[in-house]
Amino acid sequence: MSIKKFFAVFLLPLSLLATSPLLSLAQTSGQVHGVGLPDFTELVEKQGPAVVNISTVQVIRGRAPGMFPFPFDEDDPMFDFFRRFAPPGHGGKGGKGGSAPREFESHSLGSGFIVSADGYILTNAHVIADASEVVVKLTDKREFKAKIIGADKRTDVGLLKIEAGNLPVVRLGNLEALKVGEWVVAIGSPFGFDNSVTAGIVSAKGRSLPQENYVPFIQTDVAINPGNSGGPLFNMRGEVVGINSQIYSRSGGFMGISFSIPIDVAMEVQAQLKAHGKVSRGRIGVTIEEVTRDIADSLKLPKPAGALVSSLERDGPAEKAGLAVGDVILKFNGKEVTSSGDLPRIVGASRPGTKVTLQVWRKSATRDISITVGEMPNDDDEAPAADEDKESKSEAPQINRFGLSVTELSANARKELKIGHGLRIVDVRGSAARANLQPGDVILALISQGATVELKTVAQFNQLLAQVGKNANITLLIRRGDIQTFVTLKPTGNGK
């Protein structure tokens, strides 16, 4: 084959490919990808000086752990080192060294950021909890002893003050403008490494976590580790959108899921801490749960939404206003309650003593109820659990098609449980067992024809069940100890 023919055969297709739409698309895609990569350098240069390192000292009284005290918190990177390599009886949790109780110091690290030029600093409440001394270090190496203005455990927001002026401050962002998928940056001191920068994207907004009812967390995949707590989360405009608070982890280290407190929540708390040293929250005295599809169908609610009332505090604001177990709260003072997690945040943000209107779903229709908001107590004490019912159980009646065998409560049992009605479960099988119902649980009510009906006798219960379609589900209000919750059961034939 001649050289001229070689070029004609092999190079001509390449020249065509160079002008083909496929190659053009590939080139264009590569250019867009290159341009789209974020550059964090300017953000870090401008905002980094407003981020501070926080170190605390806690004085702990306990049994001295042998030759030396064990001064490291479990979040401290040195904790594992000493726990693994210290001689037996020389420190660690439950160490048996030492013979007499003594005081020793525990040190921990965290982060924070300056929100006013005269020295107010936001951080996490858990970073400064029980601290006897707090030291703030700036990026220019200056150090200040800080005063704790206040800390709110329910939102994990803490406020410090240092005596300094003309300090660099962060800019605050608009949380509503924050979008899932956009880039965010965290600056903090993980494991004591000052002003470390990590980046990622917003994974979700308004995330509810167990035991965290007052914060609609921002979920990200930004690397957060011990020492990052209390540091700022920035958007790409260099504005703070959150306070880095906690991570989800099975190992104790970062696993790709971290949570930040929205800056608007933090600033509301900061304002109250600055003015009063504490946070005042509203409450209405209800226990609520999520509205599932099955419960919505039972209540003839058009869609699963709102917060289902499962119990009322005696003489609380909700009971006084006329709320009832089985009501679904759809709106609170005009604000929609999309899910049960929304209600504590909305109520908590209300000023105690104000009158508001609740829109509730009851008996297949909406109605408005006026209520005066109460005040949340400052302590976290829980009510003591009710004593176990000492009622002697009679011979169990036949298991019904939902896998339940029930009996009526004695007068003594009702008095002990402080209730006026209910049926005790004496045996469970089938659907009832799969729903985790247990002998000793009390059935307080059944949702029938879209309404919640209190149960007083076995005959009444059986009559209501007879009205339920052969393949239809039922929803029961169950009490166990001091907890009340709604449970949906499917029919299981003979209950086996």
Tell me: pLDDT of 72 over 80: no
Q: List, in sequence order, every residue forming a beta bridge with 427; answer none if it has no partner.
A: 405
Q: Is the dihedral of CA 337, 279, 117, 124 positive or negative?
A: negative
Q: What's the confidence (pLDDT) of residue 411? A: 79
Identify which of 198, 200, 160 has the alpha carbon closest to the alpha carbon of residue 183: 200
Out of 126, 194, 245, 405, pick the active-site residue.
126
Q: What's the confidence (pLDDT) of residue 109? A: 86
Out of 106, 196, 203, 229, pick the active-site residue.
229
Tell me: pLDDT of 136 over 90: yes
Tell me: pLDDT of 57 over 60: yes
Stretch 223-248: mean pLDDT, rounded?
Answer: 93
Q: What's the confidence (pLDDT) of residue 130? A: 84
The pTM of the whole model exceeds 0.95: no
- List, for residues 281-327, the tens digit of each pLDDT value: 999 999 888 899 989 998 999 999 999 998 888 889 999 999 999 99
Q: Is 126 a catalytic residue?
A: yes
Out of 55, 106, 111, 156, pick the active-site residue.
156
